[in-house]
Amino acid sequence: MPISARNRMAGVVKAIEKGEVASTVKIEINKPSVITAMITKEAVDELGLKEGDKAEAVIKATEVMVSKE
């Protein structure tokens, strides 16, 4: 099912850190570019996410800021 979120970046899970309810997942998109996501631990468990998995970072356009050099 396609989703309205404009941004998807494919990569590989490089690190997962689980807290009691929150977790961070690091996805390496292009060496050495890494995206950090903070999601629920429940989501990590339900997706069965582990290091080495192919995964995508998905981001709604309204959440993206722009910084000018």
Where do contacts with a second copy occur on this chain (CB under 8 A)? 1-10, 17-25, 27, 30, 33, 35-40, 42-44, 46-49, 53-69
Q: How far apart are CA 25 and CA 1, in angstroms?
A: 23
Whole-number minimum distance, CB 45 to a second copy, in Å?
10
Beta-carbon contacts of 26 under 8 Å, excluding residues fewer than 6 positions away, are 13, 14, 15, 16, 34, 35, 36, 37
Whole-number minimum distance, CB 41 to a second copy, in Å?
8
13 closest CA partner among 23, 5, 21: 23
Whole-number minimum distance, CB 57 to a second copy, in Å?
5
